[in-house]
Amino acid sequence: MNRGCLRGRRRATSLRLSALLILAAAPVLVATGCRKQGAATGDVSVDASITPQPVHTGSEVVAFRLANSAHQPVAGARVQVEGDMSHPGMAPVFADAQEISPGTYKASLNFTMGGDWVVIFHITLSDGRKVERQMDVKGVESN
């Protein structure tokens, strides 16, 4: 086999390999470009606090107030509160919030370990719209 022929074969192999790489990468490139955008629900705000402070591991009360853009309380929402560790691979914790007065809710969330947490409020408004808000909880202390 002469050198030119070998080079031709190698070039063909390279092209096949390049095509394979592009094929392997293409679905994720295309798919990510199609990522769905979140619904426009910027008119609902969450004003939340956790007591007692500083936050410790164990069950803590998350109290929050839902308000619309006119600062009026948002009543009748169903809210699930989710707590996630900053580190991936840790079990999230969930709690359903109770409305204790119009627009004011509370949930009991069990912080299972110390560290930085993120609390996510999964809110279903009375008209069926879904909203998500999140709050950072830094430095939950171990008991």
Partner 1 sequence: MTKPPVAASPAAEEKRPAEDEEFFESQPFDLLRTPVIGPLLRWRHSRTFLQIPLFAVSVAMILEGLLGPTLSPKNMATVLTWVHFRGALVIAILCAGNLFCLSCPFMLTRNLMRKWIHPRFTWPRQLRNKWIPIGLFVGLLFSYELFGLWASPWLTAWIIVGYFAAVLIVDGLFTHGTFCKYVCPIGQFNFIAATASPLEVAVRDYEVCDGCATKDCIRGRREPSSPLVVLQRGCELALFQPAKVGNMDCTFCLDCVHACPHDNVGILSRLPAAELWNNSQRSGIGRFSRRNDIAALALVFCFGALMNAFGMVSPVYTVEDWLRRTLHIQSQAAVLGVLFTAIIVVEPALLLGAAAWITRAWAGVKSSWLAIAVRYAYALSPLGFGMWLAHYGYHFFTGLYTIVPVTQNAFVDLGWPILGEPQWTLVGLPKTVVEPIEFGFLLLGLAGSLLVAWRLAQEDSETHPMRAFAPWGVLCVILFLCCVWLMTQPMDMRATMLAG
Q: Which residues make up the interface to partner 1 (CB under 8 A)? A: 1-3, 6-7, 10-11, 14, 17-18, 20-21, 24-25, 27-29, 31-32, 34-36, 57, 82, 84-92, 94, 113-116, 118, 120, 134, 138-139, 141-143
Structure-block tokens of residue 119: 């609390």
Q: Min. distance of Cβ 103 from partner 1 in angstroms? A: 26
Q: Do 66 and 46 form a contact (C-beta atoms < 8 A)?
A: yes
Rounded CA-CA distance 22/18 in Å is 6
Structure-block tokens of residue 32: 């990510």
Q: Do 80 and 98 form a contact (C-beta atoms < 8 A)?
A: no
Q: Min. distance of Cβ 92 from partner 1 in angstroms? A: 5
How many CB atoms lie under 10 A from the CB of residue 140? 21
Q: Which is nearer to partner 1, 6 or 100 (CB)?
A: 6
Q: Which is nearer to partner 1, 37 or 69 (CB)?
A: 37
